[in-house]
Structures are given as C-alpha cells and as structure tokens.
Amino acid sequence: MIENEILKIIADNIRLERLKKRISQEELAEKAEISTKYLNMIENYKSNPTIVVVIKICKALEINIDKICQ
C-alpha cells in the first residue's frame, strides 16, 4: 500500500468517526490536545500525523486505533 493511500484511509476514518459522534473539529482537537488547524490538515490529507498524534485522536474519539487503520 502506498503511503498516500494509508494517509487517506486514516484521515477518512478519523473524519468518519468524528462525524458519527457528532463532534466538531474544534472539540476533537481540544480533546486530543492538538490544534484545530492541524486536525483539519490531517482530515484533508495535507499533513501526515505521527503515531503519537493518531493515538491521541483515537483516545479522544474513544476508539481503538485499529478502527481507523482499516
């Protein structure tokens, strides 16, 4: 799998889970202790988050990391 495809899967799944929980980008960013701008960049494929950031987002969404890597 190409790096860009992996990034797209993770970004799309973060957005999907956020929308399922009806959480704004601002609220999720605050819970994950990242900036709203950074979360927006992740969801729009403009930033490649570190594993630490992905874990923080998953914890904020109260999901396991495997849920966004599928």
Give the tens place of pLDDT for each residue, 11-68.
999 999 999 999 999 999 999 999 999 999 999 999 999 999 999 999 999 999 998 9
Nearest CA to 24 among 61, 66, 68, 64? 61
Count of beta carbons in the 10 Å neighbourhood of residue 62: 9
Residues 10/49, Cβ–Cβ less than 8 Å: yes
The single residue listed with the structure tokens 């990391």 is 65
pTM here? 0.91
